[in-house]
Chains A and B, each alone.
Chain A
Amino acid sequence: MQVFVQTLVGGLGFGAIYALVAMGFSIVYRTMGLVNFAHGDIVMVGAFIAATSYMSSRLPFALAVLISIALTAAIGLVIERVLRPLEHRDLDLMLIGTIGFGIVLEALATLVWGATGRAVPIPVGASPVDIAGIFVQPYDLLIIALAGVAAAGVWFLLARTKTGAAMQAVAADYEAATAVGINAGRSNAMAFAIGAGLAALAGSLAGPVLYVNESLGATMGISGFAAAILGGFGNIPGAIVGGLAFGLLSGFSAGYFHGDSDLVTFVAFAIVVMIRPTGIFGESTVNRA
């Protein structure tokens, strides 16, 4: 029981990070139909920025996270601006463009931070706390709480603000949205900035539990991406459910299969993708002649 609950909480902690990454993927995808293949590398850059601010510049962890979010949001804006000529014209080329940006970000990270990684200390009490006889890591709880706050923020933005309504309108019908005066470019830029900000939050939070190096982008990008697919790409609640499910899946398969855990996780993922490529909450689209 003890082990089960600890695995559960740990899995949910990782799951919350995956959910943040998946939400970043999804908000860009649902606004402009684009899968941002640079997303994982933005997570990695966000993790590095937070790690250096926290460790080298000795800023408080919360401030380091905020700096990281702001800087990566700016990176997101740059990517969107550069690729804007392709928006709503050739998404396949745009996808390859984001792959190009991923390559660039990885190279920049190596140039700026070098090939050695950073081991970030856990910012809150490192000793487990006792809740009703079960010991859990307070940092896991912090991650889950912050991810919840971020998810609520995204929901509020999309469902309750004018900007969010504009973004949804562009997603639903680009031509109709521009015809009623919505600035689609700004809406897409917004989506990219928020996506990058979520990536940075995920990266910053992952720093203390994972080793921060340039391969973090691939690990986090792939897991977040798998989580987003599981939930149905572009679906925000799906991203959260998919992220948590993927976290639990990895957590428990690590417990039971040890060295082969990644294998089990990805075989499970491959099977789901083959059977239901549009994920749990995904919907199929209609061809129009």
Chain B
Amino acid sequence: MKRRLVLIAAALAAGYALPYRLAAYPMQVADIAIIFALLAIGLHLTLGIAGQINLAQVAFFGAAAYTTALLTTHAGFGFWPAAVLGVLAALAAGVVAGIPALRVQSHYLGIVGLGLAIAFLDLVSNSTLTGGSDGVSGIPPPPLFGLDLSSQYLYYYLEAVALILGICFAAFITRTRLGRRLRAMRDDQLAAASIGAEVPYLRIIAFALGGLYGGVAGVLYAGLIGFVAPASVSISVMFFVLAMVMIGGRHSLAGCVIGALVLTAARELLLNVAAYAQLGYGLVVVATVILAPDGLAGLPGKILPALRRGIGSGKVARYLPQPAAEPEPEPAPVAAPAAAPARAEPMAGPREPEDTTPALRAEGITRRFRGVTALDDVSLTIRAGDIYGIVGPNGSGKTTLFNLISGLHPPHAGRIVIFGHDVAGARPYYISRLGVARTFQNLRLFHRLDTRDNILAACDRTRTRWSWRYLVWPPAVLRGERELRSAAAQALGRFGLTGVSRLIPTSLPYGTQRRIEIARAMAARPRLLLLDEPAAGLNPSEIGELAGIIRDIRRGGVTVVLIEHNMGLVMSLCDRVAVFDAGRPIAEGPPRAVANDPAVVSAYLGDADIFDVPAQAGDGDARR
């Protein structure tokens, strides 16, 4: 921390002194480098933080630059009003470019974004309004308290202020709830949606942030150069910015800024051997993606991994033997911390015992995948407050049922009613807000977020529109952050994860990762918890601990539905059990009754003795 402060102070001092040391032309290059740095931060937020492939960044830049140029030269606007409208135009362009992200992802998104950038380039190259390939010239320098900003020396300080503000705002977003949700969505969009992240809005916001930074960069560019032409918004500029972000490290704010400054400087220095320089930077991009996918920013972590891992695993090993799940007796002190915040949320308060609304009612739900009918006319009622087990062979539709309940897939027929709300076809975040949380069969933790951030992402129960505070009143964000942290600290303590809170989950033992996933689901303060094979891959002592955790969760007033192959666990834990086969339940009732049901015995188990096998280690499903 101290070293970081020293570095920042040194960078600020160097930045302040720079113009005293530079001739006019290098000063101009430095001004352009700062503009590229702002563009790169925008791309960092969309691509590195939110995981949205954005090849339209240069069009956002162009939208702002052209808007400013046209308004000042053709419509008689002053520079600053034109600049504000320019940034708004870039924001709008960002939102438009984000719309395809609602329907397509990854490569397709890249293609569409690039297509839009090309369409924009074509628009400005061919329209007579924008002066075709000649562009628009004669943009006045911005007036500022009588300063002569046509001097690139003074302009530098204006840009430097913009860059510092830009860096601070980006860091602020990334480290608080909006950025945490964007990062969660990047790492695993399904898991993010299941803890209440409104993925469609977040994707649009990701592109809008790219638009915001592209817009500021575009306005500054127009004011600096006084001239905008299609060449400055070409696809090769887009790839140049992409190279800055990749080489610097797309996940690292500092890396992206440094990448932008270094690449701009290198391009200037190698101007005489431009073709070789281009060859070189192309090769560096290829080498980066293969050898150092986290770019320059990832290198320190690559060089010193042994040291780091040594410290991390030591902690885990010492810590694990006394997991703080506090399984059996006193429920009160353990359940209290989770129940207290739950009361604050009107929807998620613990129910009265006489409440007869079922936690879940499914009526005739059917879901097909191409030719396969995964769920066939399934009806099921789960009483509030129960622990309900779902068993059945692989492929019998158990996980599909969870996916339908949590809204990942809509049913093709039938109704799903959760606590009295019909949710068939609703989005996952809506269902999460009704008080449904889940875990996944093959662990879906946010693998670039540490344990605490995984929990924090779920603690955050606000809607996306809460984020307007980022623009209007940032202190509210900080206050909210403190509340989230104390909620997360409680959740971490409850599940015995305090010791690993700053470690990346994938570096932890499998059993701990399972526990983190349950902790994350519980951090969302659900009324209905869906656990998909929670015992898979756990050893016998961990399974015992898991049983304690599940009972404890139920005692806190949460209905638990459990998909599980471990019969001992199901028999000892569940109030009722449903047996699925080929997409429909073939038996349902109290565990003992179901175990002796002749239909179950003959159709599925073949041998009733299987139910008498005590709790055993999971079936070796551990993937990591």
- Give me the interface of A with B, judged by CB distance under 8 Å: 29, 33-35, 82-83, 85-86, 90-97, 99-108, 110-111, 218, 222, 225-226, 229, 233, 259-260, 262-263, 265-267, 269-270, 273-274, 277-278, 284, 286-287, 289
Partner pick for B110 among A35, A86, A259, CB 8 A cutoff: A35
B572 surroundings in chain A (CB, below 8 A): none
Can you give 24 A-B contacts (C-beta < 8 A)?
A86-B290, A92-B107, A95-B53, A96-B242, A100-B283, A100-B285, A102-B282, A103-B282, A110-B278, A225-B114, A225-B115, A229-B112, A233-B108, A259-B126, A265-B122, A266-B123, A267-B119, A270-B119, A273-B100, A274-B96, A277-B103, A277-B108, A278-B103, A287-B190
- The reply to whether A273 and B115 form a contact with Cβ atoms under 8 Å apart is yes
- The reply to whether A97 and B126 form a contact with Cβ atoms under 8 Å apart is no
Docked Cα-Cα span, A108 to B126, in Å, equals 30
Q: A188 to chain B: closest CB distance in Å?
A: 15
Partner pick for A92 among B104, B106, B114, B123, CB 8 A cutoff: B106
B504 contacts the other chain (CB 8 A): no
Q: A7 to chain B: closest CB distance in Å?
A: 20
Docked Cα-Cα span, A263 to B100, in Å, equals 21
- Give me the interface of B with A, judged by CB distance under 8 Å: 53, 96, 99-100, 103-104, 106-108, 110-112, 114-116, 118-119, 122-123, 125-127, 189-190, 235, 239, 242-243, 246, 275-276, 278-279, 281-286, 288-290, 293, 369, 399, 402-403, 408-409, 440-441, 444, 532
**A85-B290, A86-B289, A94-B289 known; A270 and B116 CB under 8 Å?**
yes
- The reply to whether A287 and B408 form a contact with Cβ atoms under 8 Å apart is yes
Residue of A nearest to B293 (CB): A93
A95 surroundings in chain B (CB, below 8 A): 53, 107, 110
Docked Cα-Cα span, A97 to B291, in Å, equals 11
Residue of A nearest to B281 (CB): A103
Docked Cα-Cα span, A233 to B106, in Å, equals 13
**A218-B235, A233-B111, A289-B444 known; A273 and B279 CB under 8 Å?**
no
Docked Cα-Cα span, A111 to B441, in Å, equals 54
Docked Cα-Cα span, A267 to B122, in Å, equals 9
Residue of B nearest to A218 (CB): B235
Docked Cα-Cα span, A188 to B246, in Å, equals 25
Docked Cα-Cα span, A21 to B590, in Å, equals 63
Main secondary structure of the interface of B (DSSP, over half): helix
Residue of A nearest to B290 (CB): A85
The 9 closest A-B CB pairs, nearest first, are A100-B285, A103-B282, A104-B282, A107-B279, A107-B278, A100-B286, A266-B119, A270-B119, A263-B126
- The reply to whether A34 and B107 form a contact with Cβ atoms under 8 Å apart is yes
B118 surroundings in chain A (CB, below 8 A): 222, 226, 266
Partner pick for A107 among B189, B275, B369, CB 8 A cutoff: B275
B279 surroundings in chain A (CB, below 8 A): 103-104, 107-108, 111
Docked Cα-Cα span, A273 to B399, in Å, equals 34
B242 surroundings in chain A (CB, below 8 A): 96, 99
**A83-B290, A267-B119, A273-B100 known; A103 and B285 CB under 8 Å?**
yes
B239 surroundings in chain A (CB, below 8 A): 99, 102-103
**A82-B286, A263-B127, A289-B190 known; A269 and B104 CB under 8 Å?**
no
B104 surroundings in chain A (CB, below 8 A): 277-278
A94 surroundings in chain B (CB, below 8 A): 289
A269 surroundings in chain B (CB, below 8 A): 115, 119
Most chain A CB within 10 A, of B110, B123, B189, B282, is at B282
B290 surroundings in chain A (CB, below 8 A): 82-83, 85-86, 97
- The reply to whether B293 and A90 form a contact with Cβ atoms under 8 Å apart is yes
B190 surroundings in chain A (CB, below 8 A): 287, 289
Q: A17 to chain B: closest CB distance in Å?
A: 18
Q: B621 to chain A: closest CB distance in Å?
A: 15
A289 surroundings in chain B (CB, below 8 A): 190, 399, 402-403, 408, 440-441, 444, 532
A106 surroundings in chain B (CB, below 8 A): 278, 282
- The reply to whether B115 and A91 form a contact with Cβ atoms under 8 Å apart is no
Docked Cα-Cα span, A101 to B239, in Å, equals 11
- The reply to whether A278 and B289 form a contact with Cβ atoms under 8 Å apart is no
B108 surroundings in chain A (CB, below 8 A): 35, 233, 277-278
Docked Cα-Cα span, A277 to B532, in Å, equals 34
B440 surroundings in chain A (CB, below 8 A): 289
Docked Cα-Cα span, A269 to B119, in Å, equals 8
Residue of A nearest to B291 (CB): A85
Q: B530 to chain A: closest CB distance in Å?
A: 11
Q: A254 to chain B: closest CB distance in Å?
A: 12
- The reply to whether B111 and A263 form a contact with Cβ atoms under 8 Å apart is no
**A35-B111, A263-B126 known; A274 and B403 CB under 8 Å?**
no
Given contacts A82-B286, A100-B283, A278-B104, 13 further A-B contacts (CB under 8 A): A33-B107, A83-B289, A95-B53, A99-B285, A111-B279, A225-B115, A233-B108, A262-B126, A269-B115, A269-B119, A277-B103, A277-B112, A286-B409
Q: A73 to chain B: closest CB distance in Å?
A: 19
Residue of B nearest to A110 (CB): B275
B189 surroundings in chain A (CB, below 8 A): 287
Q: A79 to chain B: closest CB distance in Å?
A: 9
Q: A229 to chain B: closest CB distance in Å?
A: 6
Docked Cα-Cα span, A90 to B293, in Å, equals 10
Q: B584 to chain A: closest CB distance in Å?
A: 20
